[in-house]
Structure 1
Amino acid sequence: MEGDISMKKIVVAVDESEESMHALSWCLGNLSSQKATAAANTSTSLVLLYVKPPPPLHSSYDAAGYMFSKNDVVAAMEKYGNDMINSVMQRAEAVYKNFNVNANVNIERVVGSGDPKDVICNAVEKLRADTLVMGSHGYGFFKRALLGSVSDYCAKHVECPVVIVKHPDHK
C-alpha cells in the first residue's frame, strides 16, 4: 500500500564489554551508510538489549567477619545492577550520538534478567526482531568449548538472521 511505513526491528545485545559497543558501532555505521539509499517509507527500530545477571543466592551474609542483613545485601546488589544498566545504556547512547543516523531510527532500551543466551533468544522472539546483532569476545576453540558462547547459541536458536561482529583486535 502506498504511504505505509514499514518497520524494521534490529536488536543489538549490549553489555559492559568493548565488543558489544563495537557491534553497536558497526550496526549504526551500516544504518548511516544506508540512509541515502533507504526508502523514505522505511523506519528502523533499534533495540538496545542489556541482560543483567540474576542475583546470586547465598545462604550466608557474613563477609570478612561482618554480618549483613539480607535487606542490605539485596539493596546493594540492586543498586549495583541499576548502576550497571545506566552505565551501559549511557555508553551505548554516546556511541549512537557519534553517528549521523537518519530520523527514521527509533531507539528502544530493553533490560532483561537471567541467563544471557536465554534472555536474548526470548527477547528476539517476543520483539519479532528482523535481525540480531552481537559482538564476539573472540574466544578460541577451547575457551568456547569450556565457557560456551552466547553468540554461537543465539545464532543457532533464533529465527531471524544473526550478525556476529568480530572486534578488530581479535584476529
Structure 2
Amino acid sequence: MADGTEKRRTCVIAVDGSKYSTEAVTWFKNNVYKPGDRVLFVTAIDHRKHMQYGSVTMTPGNPDSITHAFAAEDKKANEILEKVKAVTDGSGMDCEYFKMSGEPGECIVQKAKDTEADLIVTGCRGLGTIRRTILGSVSDYIIHHSDAPVFVCRH
C-alpha cells in the first residue's frame, strides 16, 4: 500500500491427516509463508458416512454406536490438528486451528469466505479422472467454489 502499511495476508490450509496434506503444509511453510501471515489450518468432520439415509441400520443393535462413531471422528480430527501443530511448531507462524463439521470442501471454502482469505492451499491424492468423477474431490470442489486463489499441491 502507498502509506507503507501492508494488509496482513490470510492463508487457509486444508488438512486431513493424509501424507498429501502433510506435504502441502510443509510446502506452504517452506515456499509461501511470510512473517506476519495469518495461517488457518482447517479440518472437517463429515459424519454423514456413519448414516444411511432411509435405513433403520443407523443404530445396528446399539443405540450408542452413532455417538461412539461421532466421538471417534472428533478424536481423529483432534489428532490431525495435533499432527499439523507438530509440523509447524517452532516455525514462528501465527497459526490458528479449526475443526469444522460438514462436507470438507464446503467447510474449507466457507472458512476462506468468512476470514476473507487471500489463498487456500490443499493437497491432492491424484485420483484419475474417472475415480474423481465418481468419488468427487475436495480439491476440485475448492477450485470451483472458492473466491480466493487456490494452490493444489500434487504428490
TM-score for both structures, normalised by structure 2? 0.85
1:8-157 → structure 2 map (5 Å cutoff): 8-31=9-32, 34=34, 43-55=36-48, 56-58=50-52, 59-60=56-57, 61-62=59-60, 67-69=61-63, 72-97=64-89, 101=91, 103=92, 105-157=93-145
Q: Shift in Å at residue 31 of structure 1?
A: 4.2
4+ aligned runs moved over 3 Å, structure 1:
none
Q: Which runs of 5+ in 2 are unaligned?
A: none
SS in 2 for 1:132: strand
Report what 1:38 is aligned to.
Answer: none
Task: Kindly provide the CA deviation profile for residues 25-84 of structure 1, in whole angstroms up to 9, marking residues without a partner as x.
Answer: 10001146x55xxxxxxx21110000111243352322xxxx312xx2233123202210
Q: Distance in 2 between matches of 1:73 and 1:23?
A: 34
Q: Distance in 2 between matches of 1:108 and 1:73?
A: 32
Tell me the amino acid that sits aligned with residue 112 of structure 1.
M
Identity percentage over the alignment?
24
Tell me the amino acid that sits aligned with residue 13 of structure 2.
V
Tell me the amino acid that sits aligned with residue 75 of structure 2.
D
SS in 1 for 2:21: helix
Greater share of strand: 1
SS in 2 for 1:7: coil
Aligned residues: 148
SS in 2 for 1:23: helix
Tell me the amino acid that sits aligned with residue 114 of structure 2.
K
Q: Which runs of 5+ in 1 are unaligned?
A: 36-42
Q: Distance in 1 between matches of 2:23 and 2:96?
A: 18
Asked which structure has the greater CA Rg, the reply is 1
TM-score for both structures, normalised by structure 1? 0.78
SS in 2 for 1:94: helix
- Contact 2:124 2:152 (C-alpha < 8 Å) held by counterparts: yes
C-alpha root-mean-square deviation of aligned residues, in Å? 1.9
